Amino acid sequence: MKLKQSHWVAIGIAAAVALAFIVGGVVNAVNSRKAPEAATAKIQDPLVQVALIDEALRPYVVSVRGRTESNRSVVVRAETAGPVAATPAREGGFVARGAVLCRISTDARQATLDQARALMKSRQLEKQANDRLAAQGYRSQTQVLQAQANLDGATAQVRQAEVLLDQVNVRAPFAGVFDRREAEVGTYLAPGAACGTMIQLDPLVIVADVAERDVGGIQVGAGAVATLADGSTVSGRVRSVGRDADPATRTYRVEIEAPNPGARVRSGLSAQVKISTGAGPAHLVPSTTLVLDSAGRQGVRYVVDGERVAFAPVTVLDETPQGLWVVGLRGPARVITVGQSYVSEGQKVRLPAPRTAAAAPAAARR
């Protein structure tokens, strides 16, 4: 019997429905087998990597920004009036103590000194004559004393004239750098007018503004190192610690004195200053291990007994190419170096299985 077209359509529909049931059963069976495996994967503890870091004795330092300053800076001024006749000192050059920076015209000062010296010579002769006559009984003691007084007065006039003449030389009050000239040849200087500025750069002073939380650990005489912008370093010791805070910044001025032969380091340079405040236990950790906890504190996560995560707030002492020296951990610590950002305190974690003895030589060969 020949089947009609409608019969063939019905048979095709029935076959399709049967095939759909068969495929659905197979898929459900596969999914039922995978579900326990996925659940098992979800409940596994996270895998992290740790590094065992031992405690070491490390100098404690306070690191602050600072700047270099001259030990002394003085505006050298004229003591007498007159036009500048010469400027022997070179601007920016090193000068010795007592060197002439500006020389004022002598005018009549030399003549006044010559006149005072002539008068003193006359008084000396009068004194000698009175002494001889007094020895012969021709002069009284009063006349001898008057002659001595006249000689003393003339000597004082000579000294006064010498001082006035020397005041035309404006001299360096200390050895240092003649940093800036204020008067040129021909400039008229009144008493108190500036000839130029002298600065003393040896020793050099490094000034740092230290926060109130750190200043308590800094003592006079403590060692300090300043790193300048060009990478060079200057070492010295703390010479003073301020007692009164800056009202605007609430910081305290700390001065460090450092030798500076030849005025090698200039005044006004920025510096990163590290001041020693003692020594104590510290840990050298990779810089990537630092994280923030839920309270915003900076620290590291480490693994304690029971393979659970703990958090320790730390303070960074120093930054080196090998890592960061931090304070806050105690004793040997298993610091999490990989995965520290994806775990939380109290969470249980898994550690990589130790390599077998056979695996180690194979790794070495590679």
Angstrom distance (rounded) from CA 243 to CA 238? 14
- Do 230 and 286 lie in one domain? The reply is no
Greater pLDDT, 50 or 3: 50
Domain assignment present for residue 28? The answer is no
Residue 359 lies in a domain: no
pLDDT at 4: 55
Contacts of 121 (CB under 8 A, 6+ apart): none
pLDDT at 362 over 80: no
Residues 261 and 329 in one domain: no
**Residue that is last in its domain, among 278, 307, 326:** 278
Same domain, 207 and 273: yes
State how far the Cα of 338 lies from the Cα of 316, in Å rounded to an integer. 20
Between 37 and 95, residue with greater pLDDT: 95
Whether residue 154 is predicted with pLDDT greater than 60 in this model: the reply is yes
Residue 195 located in a structural domain: no
114 shares its domain with 162: yes
pLDDT in tens, 294-317: 888 999 999 998 789 999 999 888
Residue 103 has, within 13 A of its CA and on its CB side, a CA count of 13
Q: Is there a single domain that holds both residue 230 and residue 219? A: yes
Residue 157 in domain: yes
- pLDDT tens per residue across span 314-335: 988 888 889 999 999 999 999 9
Q: Which residues of 19-57 are buried (b: 16+ CB within 10 A; e: fewer)?
A: eeeeeeeeeeeeeeeeeeeeeeeeeeeeebebeebeeee
- Mark whether 225 and 271 lie in a shared domain: yes
CA pair distance 6, 4, nearest whole angstrom: 5
Instruction: Give the C-alpha distances (Å, rounded to integers) separating 315 from 38, 61, 274.
Output: 42, 11, 15
Residues 262 and 286 in one domain: no
Average pLDDT of the segment spanning 261-268: 90
Whether residue 272 sits in one domain with residue 209:
yes
Q: Is residue 340 part of a domain?
A: yes
Paired residues of 285 in beta bridges = 324
Question: Residue 146 is part of a domain; what is its CATH number?
Answer: 1.10.287
What's the CATH number where 269 sits? 2.40.30.170
Structural contact between residues 315 and 300, judged by C-beta atoms closer than 8 angstroms: no
In a domain, 10, yes or no: no
3-state secondary structure (DSSP) of residue 61:
strand
Whether pTM > 0.75 for this model: the answer is no
Average pLDDT, the chain: 85
The letter for the amino acid at 161 is: A
pLDDT tens sequence across 100-147: 999 999 888 888 888 999 999 999 998 898 888 888 888 888 888 998
Question: Which of 110, 100, 103, 113 minimizes the C-alpha distance to 160?
Answer: 113
The confidence band for 358, taking pLDDT boundaries of 50, 70 and 90, is very low
User: Averaged over 268-282, what is the pLDDT?
Assistant: 91
Which percentage of the chain shows pLDDT scores above 70? 85
- Residue % of the chain over a pLDDT of 90: 54
Token duo for residue 122: 């006359």
Confidence band (pLDDT; 50, 70, 90) for 360?
very low
Structural domain of residue 204, as residue ranges? Answer: 63-69+200-278
Decide if 80 is inside a domain: no
- As for how many domains the chain has, the answer is 3
| pLDDT value for 283 | 93
- Provide the β-strand partners of residue 164: none
CATH number, domain containing residue 312: 2.40.420.20
Residue 153: alpha-carbon gap to chain centroid:
59
